[in-house]
Structure 1
Amino acid sequence: MQKLFLTTALFCALAAPSFAAKPAEGEKLADKQELNYWLLDALKTLDPGKNTDREGSDALRQLFEGLMNEDLHGAVVPGVAESYEVSDDKKTYTFHLRDAKWSNGDPVTANDFVYAWRRVADPATASEYAWFLELMNVENASAVVKAEKKPDELGVKALDDKTLEVKLTAATPYFLKTLAHPATFPVPQKVIEAEGDKWTQAGKLVSNGAYKLDRHDLGVQAVMSKNDNYWDAANTVLTTLRFVTVNDQNIGLTRYLAGELDWMDRTPAGQFPRLQKEYPDQAVSVPDACSYAYLFNLSDKGPKELKDLRVRQALSYAVDRDIIVDKVLQGGQKPAYWWTHWAVEGFQKPDIEMGKWTQAERVEKAKALLKEAGYGPENPLKITIQYNTSDDHKKLAVAVQQFWKQIGVQAELANYEWKVHTDRLQNQDFQVARYAWCADYNEPSTFLDYFRTGGYNNGKWSNAEYDKLLEEAKTAADTGPIYKKAEEVLIGDMALVPVYHYSKPMMIKPDLRGWPKDNVMNDWYAKDMYRVAP
């Protein structure tokens, strides 16, 4: 067994890993240590095992803490785990937990992780992230998720209160990176069993992170305060967090400029160049490991028209990505001709033909493909584009509607609130739908596994060659070429319309320190932040 102490061997490459908010020399802390953070959509859930969206993860990262956290550069750093040992075959990890407490004063134990992971894998929980444990290669995860084995057969065990053992089916190089994801966070068993689905309500929720939940008005705000029982509370500076929901980005920007918000991590489309000029110390754009696309519903409930590869290709070719990033968004985004974000660690650029053509060539090829598939002026292709409430999503949907009109496609727009939109996606009640995927960890498989047969995969695309490549990558010494080939298969069969790779054009108050500008994951921890005096 090889023993590694997380504060030394694992992070020796970092000269000064950041574990807490530490003001630099000469900085004076502000008297008021609060953060008002903008949310576009309401927090759908505060249950780590049931969350599916990026904004929910941002909130959960403050309330709960897993075995690992991320530092300002995106590297994994100690969370509840102080050290770990790994077997010679890299398939058994033994984690040693620090002395940590829940917000009610109870100790955090290895069994809290066992219970949480089994709960996610258990079909009775109906967690939409059960597949994540399969991706982690936890022993028996697939069989438990499919109800072929019982949850207590999952490869995770408490050796004692402070020792957690995890068995994997294969050596998994990215395994440690997955342990900072909310799906792996511990949850309080006795609270859940006592309160049922109400356990996440303010006044009932018990958390082990740096903050505790004081109030949650759905669609308005969630208020959190410093958790004095957190193991590193002495180094936590921000005392109050407010997650404020504002569905309209333009109104959100107005409220930011009025001083009501401190951090708006997505400025309205087209406004970033102006904001950079007017507020050079507040307007910032950084790479963000998310990709924006339009999904095709290829399930049995999807329209027969989309079952034709030529139709899918035509719809993808016709989208002018340069106009979208240069004229509509204008925030540092890059056109996407593949799925995985270009800045993800280990990514190798795939060979995608349509990325080499001019837009005029793409449009001509799209028209020819539609004609070949039997569509024309007398028999136009009719399709519905679904998107969730947002001025930006609407702008993009309108643009795509016009791009498709140029090749003779009649597209109707359908707008739904976030929860309804995601419910419809999960139930395959759509034809073409706006979607985005943000990396769960910094490695290409976090994007590619989405389209695995049996994966999250709302469009239900399935390809045996693709599945085989992902399976091969699990144990490969060099995954780069395999992921590259998988990307080529995915786009070759046009499972989606990739549109753009995210950047984060945002507005952030200049007195806020400790936000992760160098972490492509953009995962942030308020415990590492502080505000300085003017």
Structure 2
Amino acid sequence: MTVKISLLALSLCAALGVPAQAAVVPAGTELAKVQQLVRGNGSEPASLDPHKVEGVPESNVLRDLFEGLVNSGPDGEVVPGVAERWESSDNLVYVFHLRDNARWSNGDPVTAQDFEYALRRAVDPATASPYSWYLEKATILNASEVVNGNKPATELGVKALDEHTLEITLASPVPYFVSMLSLAPTYPVHRATVEKFGDEWTRVGNMVSNGAYRLSNWVVNERIELARNPHYWNNADTVLDTVVYLPIASQNAEMNRFLSGELDMTYDIPLEHFKRLQKEHPDAVRVNGYVGTYYYVFNTQKKPFDDVRVRNALSYAIDRDIIAGKVMGQGERPAYTLAPEGVNGFTPPAVVWAGWTQQQRDEKARALLEAAGYGKDKPLRFELLYNTNDNHRKVAVAIASMWKKHLGVEVELVNQEWKTYLDTKTQGNFEVARAGWIADYNEASSMLDLMQSRHGNNDGQYSNPEFDRLMAASRLASDEKARNALYAQAEEILAVDMPIAPIYQYVKARLVQPQVGGYPDNPLDNIYSKDMYIRAK
């Protein structure tokens, strides 16, 4: 269950000295002599530069290498990171007090100037950060102007008052601002290292980081190894000495390596083996709630997907009960909105078409497609893009079959490895693509912002002025009820325009060896290796 705390309460809790999260080993626990955690990570990270990433595989590694002002606790709550406390009297100007014992992996102190430099770098157009929009969304003063090249990065509303005091000024109040600061785009980077090595600063031997671990080895497409950062401020309470990330795209291969004892945690579970694994290894299967939605995105700038009738037809013809319950079958729920039911404080609206039977949806879909000019004599043909992954392929095959059976649509499946797939989507070189979005923080805006006209991850280039207006208004609504009402209206617009086809609400299912201690039930799947340990077998 997600802990729900007001911003004022967060400030007070931090001021009163709520401890940062760390490994908590129960009394009497016998620890393994070798404290090494080996994690499956799905794909090879596209980068290890915090300001140049956008995916989950990258974020997993960066969460160990770097630490922001705050972290995400085991229940998704905010806990202190480099900032041991903070305060704001108006939700507009925030002052963060940094730990005086925070250190970089080379021993240098972590200062407010490091955060000032890093936040400016994240919005600087020269950095080309795919997440620069995130700081715009946070309404940090002048972020939009800097991102658009209308003001220099030095005009961003961040200021180091002294070495251990950072002031962040917003253009307008954001009630969930502090919870946004545990994400990679807000991590500090070591200025001297970045300026000395340029694009090569993330290589082994060059990288200087401030998290619980440092980069010790990186063999592309094989493994990333992290070692304890002895200068980390809370190193005394860190138990794991090394963490190894393996980019294994095949869930079956990953499962086999787990069962042979080579892996401590998997990234996923093969769908076809889930029930067997639950029966044979009940102590290893872990299924947690996950604030995210799996969907297909339509490129609204390419014909015929600029036609709302085509988008609606394809969405209606997806039998979500079959995909969620049969193809996936790990506890996923059918999705009819972008924000899932698990978002803290928000109940998605019951959109009209969600109440139809699948037969009614199929009939409506056929009528819409025929009205758009497609039928037996002129079947709709297009490519469906997905990143290399066994489970994504199974979903794509099932949905392509539904489209073929009920609409006569002919689909060519195209799979690409993770980095290429991201580039293809970002550049708009696709027709329909598999996508998924995991909330960056547990609030509906973290999902719905994705569909704003100028959002950096709006790969389908959807634009609706009324949707944008509602999301802009939500930032000014300090009352949660009023804010959620705006979110519901925004969802209703998406249900009509259908720039994406929501398919299912995520759960996070993986295999975890029983000897792994400290594994959290974090609804954002924000797992910090520093909070974990290995028991003796």
Tell me, yes or no, whether TM beats 0.5.
yes
Look up the equivalent residue of 2:529 and give its one-letter code.
A
2:29 to 18, 27, 30: 27
Residues 382 and 459 (structure 1), Cα distance of their counterparts in 2 relative to 1, 3 Å cut: same
Structure 1 distance, partners of 2:159, 2:15, is 26
Q: Which stretch has the larger CA shift, 358-367 or 23-32? A: 23-32
What's the secondary structure of 1:158's corresponding residue? Answer: strand
TM-score, scaled relative to structure 2: 0.95
Structure 2 distance, partners of 1:378, 1:287, is 45
Q: Is the 8 A contact 2:63 2:528 kept in 1?
A: yes
Structure 1 distance, partners of 2:256, 2:327, is 20
Structure 2 gaps of 5+ residues are: 1-6
Which residue pairs with 2:3 in the alignment?
A: none
Structure 1 runs of 4+ with >4 Å offset: 3-8
Which residue pairs with 1:361 in the alignment?
A: 360
What's the secondary structure of 1:433's corresponding residue? Answer: strand
Cα deviation, 1:426-449, whole Å, max 9, x if unaligned, reads 100000000111111110101111
Q: Is the 8 A contact 1:298 1:306 kept in 2?
A: yes
Cα deviation, 1:230-256, whole Å, max 9, x if unaligned, reads 000000000000001112110010000
Q: Is the 8 A contact 2:298 2:432 kept in 1?
A: yes
Matched, 1:321 2:325: no
Q: Is the 8 A contact 1:265 1:508 kept in 2?
A: no
Structure 2 distance, partners of 1:325, 1:341, is 13
Which residue pairs with 1:530 in the alignment?
A: 533
Look up the equivalent residue of 2:363 and give its one-letter code.
E
Structure 2 distance, partners of 1:511, 1:7, is 36
Look up the equivalent residue of 1:391 and give its one-letter code.
D
> Within 5 Å, which residues of 2 pair with 1:126-525?
126-299=128-301, 302=302, 304-406=303-405, 407-455=407-455, 456-476=457-477, 477-478=479-480, 479-517=483-521, 519-525=522-528
Q: Is the 8 A contact 1:139 1:155 kept in 2?
A: yes
What's the secondary structure of 1:213's corresponding residue? Answer: strand
Look up the equivalent residue of 2:534 and give its one-letter code.
R
Count of matched residue pairs: 525
Q: Is the 8 A contact 2:348 2:488 kept in 1?
A: yes
Q: Is the 8 A contact 1:91 1:168 kept in 2?
A: yes
How many Å apart are 1:194 and its aligned residue?
Answer: 0.3
Which residue pairs with 1:48 in the alignment?
A: 50
How many Å apart are 1:8 and its aligned residue?
Answer: 6.3
Q: Is the 8 A contact 2:142 2:151 kept in 1?
A: yes
Structure 1 distance, partners of 2:73, 2:142, is 31
What's the secondary structure of 1:263's corresponding residue? Answer: coil
Structure 1 distance, partners of 2:348, 2:149, is 38
Q: Is the 8 A contact 1:276 1:284 kept in 2?
A: no
Structure 2 distance, partners of 1:420, 1:428, is 12
Look up the equivalent residue of 1:235 and give its one-letter code.
D
Q: Is the 8 A contact 2:11 2:88 kept in 1?
A: no
How many Å apart are 1:483 and its aligned residue?
Answer: 0.7
Q: Is the 8 A contact 2:15 2:87 kept in 1?
A: no
Cα deviation, 1:366-414, whole Å, max 9, x if unaligned, reads 1111112221111111111111111111111111111110211111111
Q: Is the 8 A contact 2:297 2:460 kept in 1?
A: yes
Q: Is the 8 A contact 2:339 2:348 kept in 1?
A: no
Structure 1 gaps of 5+ residues are: none
Q: Which stretch has the larger CA shift, 203-212 or 326-335? A: 326-335
Structure 2 distance, partners of 1:228, 1:6, is 29
TM-score, scaled relative to structure 1: 0.96
Look up the equivalent residue of 2:463 and give its one-letter code.
S
Q: Is the 8 A contact 2:14 2:85 kept in 1?
A: no
How many Å apart are 1:166 and its aligned residue?
Answer: 0.2
Q: Is the 8 A contact 2:518 2:532 kept in 1?
A: yes
Q: Is the 8 A contact 1:33 1:240 kept in 2?
A: yes
Structure 1 distance, partners of 2:393, 2:72, is 34
Q: Is the 8 A contact 1:18 1:528 kept in 2?
A: no
Residue identity over aligned pairs, in percent, reads: 45
Q: Is the 8 A contact 1:109 1:161 kept in 2?
A: yes
Q: Is the 8 A contact 1:270 1:330 kept in 2?
A: no
What's the secondary structure of 2:396's corresponding residue? Answer: helix
Q: Which stretch has the larger CA shift, 346-355 or 152-161? A: 346-355
> Within 5 Å, which residues of 2 pair with 1:34-113?
34-87=36-89, 89-99=90-100, 100-113=102-115
